[in-house]
Chain A
């Protein structure tokens, strides 16, 4: 039983005197993040509603550019912010509430790497396929007519 807690978050920027204090600190941080999400979700700033970059046309390097920068090319900045903030929240819930910070690195990697790898794979496969089906439905000569 690990009774020793690591009492700092943000890489040591914020230090706590006791474990209880750290819990309240993390709560404050998670509440702040949720509040930011809610405010952005209600007001939807116009500047975040359109993608910042356009996909490049033609050639191998253009495709490579599209793949590498795909979060900025195909996703609204607002949605990107939401997803990043969600992962930040997930990190602090796992690390501080579930005490991942205090576990051995072997246990941490066993759980986190396995999960992250499989989930990324699953998301990639399904979203890729979903986009493909959309193309099939919406090309100019689509055989399937749904709009009636």
Chain B
């Protein structure tokens, strides 16, 4: 290049070219550009979540009642514990990543290898945890009835806990009474051969209503959040009336169409935002593995600089950064 550019006599001056106003290499700067744009994408999603939540602020599901499960502790309600664990794993893998970058600065190949390996393990644990979280969310736990207007009615009873009346949820499996007039699921072999039907719910609204009638202790809870920040529990008469007149579909678990926890938008945003974040973590793990093998092969040793580890590290920390916000706005606020 030296032969093609004439000396201008301004070298070293501000506009003379050749100086680095941002003091960063091209690759690092481009990684920062990408991170800024990706941060805007994620904040767009989270702001859209906020938009929908503000729109339905009086009936949004309460996260503490949705995410209560911890692996191996079946049947216990432990909100926050599992996500806190996931957050800690991700922060921890961020630490090993930054330690790898630091070891890279000292050209210490053995340490970079070890820390990159630990980072990959941390990322894999996180993605696995997220898959478990999704599976639990999709499977659901108590079940609910969706009304004609798309609202969700849940079931429970008042129990005495340390002298205090508390509303405890009851699963539809525990009280639904089987009725024999159930509609048979349509199949190709017993109906129109060119039409498919999605599997029918386990129960019909009629079975739920029969069960509700038979158990006078069970009450219905709707989506509206009252003054105390809890969902409104209906009276016995109102409970029966709501199920009989407005009940349309029995839902268990959540998907993109129905959601037993409340507004279906909640599940849509949950799948979309944590899914997009999980995809980032997954691609981060893949990139980390590539860099890990490059480190083992000595590519950066020969290059004389471990800057590539630093660039991947930036991406990895960014993923952690996004999770900090997802954690706050999905599980805490």
Provide the main secondary structure of the chain A interface: helix
Query: Of the candidates B39, B44, B58, B331, which one forms a contact with A115 in the assembled complex, judged by CB atoms under 8 Å apart?
Result: B39
Residues of A within 8 A of B199 (CB): none
A134:B105 contact, CB within 8 angstroms: no
- The contact sample of 23 A-B pairs, CB cut-off 8 A, is A24-B95, A30-B91, A34-B84, A37-B328, A38-B80, A38-B84, A41-B331, A41-B332, A82-B328, A82-B333, A93-B321, A93-B324, A98-B321, A99-B101, A107-B22, A110-B22, A119-B47, A126-B48, A130-B51, A130-B55, A134-B57, A137-B55, A138-B58
Residues of B within 8 A of A125 (CB): 47
Chain A residues near B324: list those with CB within 8 A: 86, 89-90, 93
Q: Which of A2, A111, A134, A137 contacts B32 (CB 8 A)?
A: A111
- Chain A contacts to B: CB under 8 angstroms: 1-3, 19-20, 23-24, 27, 30-31, 34-35, 37-38, 41-42, 49, 79, 82-83, 85-86, 89-90, 93-94, 96-99, 103-104, 106-107, 110-111, 114-115, 118-119, 122-123, 125-127, 129-131, 133-134, 137-138, 145-148
Residue B102 interfacial (CB < 8 Å): yes
Nearest-neighbor residue (CB-CB) of A123 within chain B: B47
**Complex CA–CA separation, A30 to B92 (angstroms):** 10
B47 to chain A, nearest CB (A): 4
Closest to B325 in A: A86
Complex Cα distance, B40 from A51, in Å, reads 30
Chain B's interface: helix, strand, loop or mixed, by majority?
helix
> How far, in whole Å, are A3 and B305 apart by their CA atoms in the complex?
12
Q: Are B151 and A1 in contact (CB under 8 A)?
A: no
Q: How far is the CA of A127 from the CA of B43 in the complex (A)?
A: 12
Q: How many A-B residue pairs have CB under 8 A?
A: 151
CB distance from B251 to the nearest CB of A (A): 17
Contact A97–B54 (Cβ < 8 Å):
no
Question: Across the interface, which residues of B come within 8 angstroms of A2, CB to CB?
Answer: 23
Complex formed: what's the CA distance from A137 to B57 in Å?
A: 11
Question: In the assembled complex, which residues on chain B have CB atoms less than 8 Å from the CB atom of A37?
Answer: 328, 332
The answer to whether the Cβ of B255 comes within 8 Å of any Cβ in the partner chain is: no
For the complex, give the distance between the alpha carbons of A102 and B51 in Å. Answer: 37
> Which chain A residue shows the least CB distance to B147?
A148
Q: How far is the CB of B221 from chain A (nearest CB, A)?
A: 14
Q: Mark B51-91, 1 if CB is under 8 A from A, else 0.
A: 11111111000001000000000000001110010011001
